[in-house]
Amino acid sequence: MTTPLDPKIWDEEIKKAEAFLDELAIWLEDQGYKVERKVKTARDSAEGIVLEANNGEYSVVLLLKRRMARSWARSLRRSISERVIRDANPPVLTLLAEQELAEKSA
């Protein structure tokens, strides 16, 4: 089980993530979707996402990737999205973020 991190250490990164998710949530709500956004800290990203997905009442988990794997070796390693897809109970949808959005979140 993942031990939560002290979120105070990550204040700046958390604020960036929240701003990015706010834009996306507004767009999804405008499309008619119910959106719940959460930003949490965990020592292992995939494990933290799976834990939240499996303990919440989610109908789907949406993961945005900033980029595709650039090499075969990289694509064969277990990525965060692959681990979430394998271990989360709700269906997981992964999308490649538009370059403009990916740059804002970096």
1, part of any domain = no
25, part of any domain = yes
Question: pLDDT for 14-65, tens place per residue?
Answer: 888 888 889 889 998 999 988 888 877 788 889 999 999 999 888 899 888 7
> Could you list the residue range(s) of the whole structural domain that residue 82 is in?
7-105
85, part of any domain = yes
16, part of any domain = yes
2, part of any domain = no
Cut 0.75: pTM above it:
no
Report how far residue 76's alpha carbon sits from residue 102's, in angstroms, rounded to the nearest whole number.
Answer: 23
Stronger pLDDT, 97 or 4, i.e. the higher one: 97
Q: Which two tokens stand for residue 36?
A: 């719940």
43, part of any domain = yes
CB atoms within 10 A of CB 27: 11
60, part of any domain = yes
- Kindly tell me if the per-residue pLDDT of 74 is higher than 80: no
69, part of any domain = yes
Report how far residue 19's alpha carbon sits from residue 88's, in angstroms, rounded to the nearest whole number.
Answer: 25
Report how far residue 25's alpha carbon sits from residue 71's, in angstroms, rounded to the nearest whole number.
Answer: 32
Stronger pLDDT, 10 or 59, i.e. the higher one: 59
User: For the chain, how many structural domains are there in total?
Assistant: 1
Q: Report percent pLDDT > 70 for the chain.
A: 75
